[in-house]
A and B are shown apart, each in its own frame.
Chain A
Amino acid sequence: MTTVETGTFYNPDSRQLICRGEWDVTRLPELQALLDKASWPIDGDITINGESLDKLDSAGAWLLVRRQKKLEEQGVTSQLTHFSRNQAALLSLVQHQIKSEANLPFIQSLNWVQTIGRHTLLQFSGFTLYVNFIGRLTVEMLRIARHPQHIRFRSLVSVIYRNGFQAIPIVTLLSFMIGIVLTYQMGLQLRNYGANIFIVDLLGLSILREFAPLLTAIMVAGRTGSAYTAQLGMMKINQEIDALDTMGVTPAELLLLPRMAGLLIALPLLTMWADIMGIFGGMVMAQASLDVSWYDFLHRFPTVIPLKTLLIGLVKTPVFALIIASIGCFQGMQVESNADSVGQNTTKSVVLSIFFIIVADAIFSILFSWLKI
């Protein structure tokens, strides 16, 4: 078999379209252009000759069949000749498919008003689902409270270990550095007035009340909230959640409540640790740049910072923990069966957690100032 140049040639005298060479998907654009350029007759009968075709794949066959159809619409009928048995079978298969091809279902695109409306409704239904989720979880919790043997201590402990204990290094580093940065920035101002020792008051208040609880919660939202969503999402896709449901073990009992309770225990402890490391960082920096010795620092600390400050900071953390865990679990359970949705929901879980942590913190501030604490 000699390889001839791929192409097509229409001979007006013999009313023959000669197809040559390899008609496959890679050469489709040039073939299409050649067919468009050919000087087709206005009416009558032509033959399409496939004698010198080396290769015809379904894309090539599709091109040929579509051209036949187009010619037919213009009033030119065409006959296929000299195609090999396989090529003829392929052509008739394609002919058959094109004929039976129904139109693609029409997808309606939305204008901007409809898009906004759709998103608003989606947000609302998302919120309803969340409330629903919390409700079911509460019912489940009450059920388990009546049957304490259903409490999963193993899962609880492993949640505390993974999301509390294993977060200690990063929380240590973060809060230590925040202590250093705060002392440095505030120290610059205090030194102007020779009020170096007041760094103790400022540091104690800001770290215990705001920085440690907030930063730890944000750190945990990024670390734990995303992990919850991704884990539960994958389990949902693998139908592990469905499997649990059918075995008479509710996912809430085995997966969700231990995660919520675990974080509820772990986050206050982590925050406490962050308090200590933040103050420690500040103390190191105060000695280095403000000449406030460790002895002076620790001596002044209990006299100016009441226990109340620590408690106010810690009181917020269970709320933060519930926000992180509930949103993380909720988004995980909302995952649909495609890979995209795991990514989307994980992002949502972190963004929404951090957003609501800050909202809750603001509400706490208002509440405390209202109560004059």
Chain B
Amino acid sequence: MSAESIITIQGLDTYFGDHCVHHDLDLNVYRGEVLGIVGGSGSGKTTLLREMLALTRPAKGSIKIFGHEIIHASLNTLLSIQRRWGVLFQQNALFSSLTLLENVSFPLEEHTQLNASTIRDLARLKISMAGLPMDAANQYPSELSGGMQKRAGLARAIALDPELLFLDEPTAGLDPNTAAGFDELILNLQSTMGLTIVMVTHDLDSLWKVTNRVAFLGNQKVMFVDPMPLLVKQADEQIQAFFSGPRGRVVQEGYTHGN
């Protein structure tokens, strides 16, 4: 793994009122890797993601993305960073009043000086790269199925060929088959487009299949950052509770025996 760190988080403190979510949290994400973020409910996974996206401001600490400090970044710095990342939200956050094609064209229209037909062609390319049929292009998000909406959200997230992709629960609410297809798609895009991916997920299959390393959040910190096979062997109580439940064991056996 190359040592270039794309995201560097140091000494992060977050409070909701008096409730401490993160205390002195450190995390590094390296170029080209797929990092999973897991943890029990309320361990601050989504909050951490929102802080990396500069949507929530932590109380203390430093978050550097592409070498720029984003917590106190000027609007211009932030805009130039935002152009280089793509985000797939848990609820997809597709613009409901725009068609799929318009949704995917939106970042291209905002951030490039390309002419309309080029934008349309590029958007169509992204739509088909996300594995969507072309006749979905003129449909509105509400007319698409859950799995298609996820793919549409992904198509919009990769519209500008980002270096960094954030995925929040990408497979939540999908049936196992569609979820597996989505994992496959993420892996494909990751290798062809050279993406760095940070994904928050509960899906054990995704964790085994897609991630290179997994950060386990607990006790207001990142407790461990390890590849899955190592992580599940950690003796810590929380880890064991998380991965050795009945579901965790089945998935784990499938993957360790399969390999």
Contacts and interface: CB of A to CB of B under 8 A. Distances in A.
Interface in A332-368: 336-340
B128 A101 contact: yes
Interface string A1-45: 000000000000000000000001110110010000000000000
Contact of B112 (A25, A339, A340): A25
A107 B138 contact: yes
Interface in B130-176: 133-135, 137-138, 140-142, 158, 160-161
A250 interface: no
Contact of B96 (A57, A104, A338): A338
A59 B161 contact: yes
Interface string A82-108: 000010011001100110111111010
B96 A90 contact: no
Main secondary structure of the interface of A (DSSP, over half): helix
B28 to A, nearest CB: 23
Contacts of B141: 338
B161 A57 contact: yes
Contacts of B124: 101, 104
B250 interface: no
Nearest to B97: A340
B192 interface: yes
B122 A104 contact: no
Main secondary structure of the interface of B (DSSP, over half): helix
Contacts of B134: 101-105
A291 to B, nearest CB: 60
A84 to B, nearest CB: 10
Contact of B114 (A29, A93, A337): A29
Interface residues of A, number: 30
A102 B135 contact: yes
B253 to A, nearest CB: 32
A228 interface: no
Contact of B138 (A26, A89, A102, A104): A104
A311 B160 CA distance: 67
Most buried by A among B96, B140, B161, B188: B161
Interface residues of B, number: 33
Given A89-B192, A101-B134, A58 B125 contact: yes
A93 B192 contact: yes
Contacts of B97: 338-340
B108 interface: yes
B125 A98 contact: yes
A105 B121 CA distance: 14
B230 interface: no
B234 interface: no
Contact of B194 (A25, A28, A86): A86
Interface in B90-142: 95-97, 101, 108, 112-115, 118, 121-122, 124-126, 128-129, 133-135, 137-138, 140-142
17 contacts: A25-B161, A26-B112, A28-B114, A29-B114, A58-B122, A62-B121, A66-B121, A86-B192, A90-B192, A100-B128, A101-B134, A104-B101, A104-B124, A104-B137, A338-B97, A339-B96, A339-B97
- 5 closest A-B pairs by beta carbon, nearest first, are A338-B96, A57-B161, A340-B97, A337-B142, A97-B128
Given A86-B192, A338-B97, A338-B142, 18 more contacts: A25-B122, A29-B113, A32-B118, A58-B129, A59-B161, A97-B125, A97-B128, A97-B129, A101-B128, A102-B133, A104-B101, A104-B124, A104-B138, A337-B96, A338-B140, A339-B97, A340-B96, A340-B97
Interface of B: 95-97, 101, 108, 112-115, 118, 121-122, 124-126, 128-129, 133-135, 137-138, 140-142, 158, 160-161, 188, 191-194
